Amino acid sequence: MTVKEKSLLVFKYGGNAMTDPEVKEGVVKALLRLKTDGHKVVVVHGGGPFIKEALAAAAVTSEFVDGQRKTSPEAMKVVEETLKGQVNSDLVGLFNKHGSRAVGLSGKDGQTATAEKRIHLSEVNGKETEVDLGRVGDVVHVDPTLLNLLISNDYLPVITCIAADADGDSYNINGDNFAGMIAGALKADQFIVLTDVDGLMRDINRPDSLIVKTSRAETQALKAEGIIVGGMIPKTDACLAAIEAGARSARIINGTKPECIGMLFDGSGSGTLIEK
């Protein structure tokens, strides 16, 4: 499946593609070429490396539980200031520098995303125990009204992974999951995760084992077989959630190679395509 004309494309942007200035410039230019060619583009981003630096600078301690950062109210303030005030603002500025009309948002704007506190179960001494992760949440509802309004008026929404609950408390949301929920609610033609590898591999040590195309059921089987592991699990879960919620397809590509974005619409394809 290649990207059709005037498709709605939702990109999850992060990792090394965001921290390397040269790659970042290449990614932005590639996304804007898509928009110039008539596609509708939405960018969702996180900012883990920037959050780590900001917490250290503020002398706010933070620990990880099963790969998830515990987020106290004090840490949440730093996370929000970093993602909205630094990462999102810089990214919007870069898009606009190259002639776009980008608009910076979080899930809190227009109540686009509503969160609830995540209940995390961790194995402690052989028993499943509930662990309080603080202000770590999950998206329970997406209202795409504001995003659709911006898209229909030729703006480029750039949205970061923060949302509030019904009481107005802010939560830090996993960027992949957040992006997948946004893509599903927008009924995106394709949800595209930019990561640091070329796609899903049957053997991570063999680049020629790239899985070019798979289905939701096959992807679940790959997880069960232990072929999809580590950091690729939340990315594939986000792809599956996006499709389940309404996206037509999902794709995992190498965001450190901006030329892979161009391959989405030149007929050659790129990365791993996941379809229903």
- Is residue 27 in some structural domain? yes
Residue 150: which CATH number?
3.40.1160.10
Rounded CA gap, 199 and 217, in Å?
17
- Is residue 191 in some structural domain? yes
> What residue has token string 């195309």?
213
DSSP secondary structure letters along 64-118: EETTEE-B-HHHHHHHHIIIIIIIIHHHHHHHHHTT--EEEEETTGGG-EEEEE-
- Is residue 2 in some structural domain? no
Rounded CA gap, 116 and 97, in Å?
36
- Is residue 187 in some structural domain? yes
In the DSSP assignment, the letter for residue 123 is E
- Is residue 220 in some structural domain? yes
Q: Work out the pLDDT band at 238, boundaries 50, 70, 90.
A: very high
pLDDT tens string 14-32: 887 898 999 999 999 999 9
- In terms of residue numbers, what domain contains 47? 8-275
Size of the chain in residues: 276
pTM of the model: 0.93
Helices 216-224, 232-245: inter-axial angle, 10-degree rounding: 150
pLDDT over 90 percentage in the chain: 76
pLDDT of res. 208: 87
- Is residue 1 in some structural domain? no
Rounded CA gap, 8 and 183, in Å?
9
pLDDT tens string 156-178: 999 999 999 999 999 999 999 99
Q: Could you give the number of structural domains in the chain?
A: 1
Could you tell me the CA-to-CA distances from 195 to 101, 212, 253, 255 in Å, in that order? 25, 15, 6, 5
pLDDT > 70? residue 1: no
pLDDT of res. 5: 61
pLDDT tens string 102-147: 999 999 999 999 999 998 888 777 788 888 899 999 999 999 999 9
- Is residue 270 in some structural domain? yes
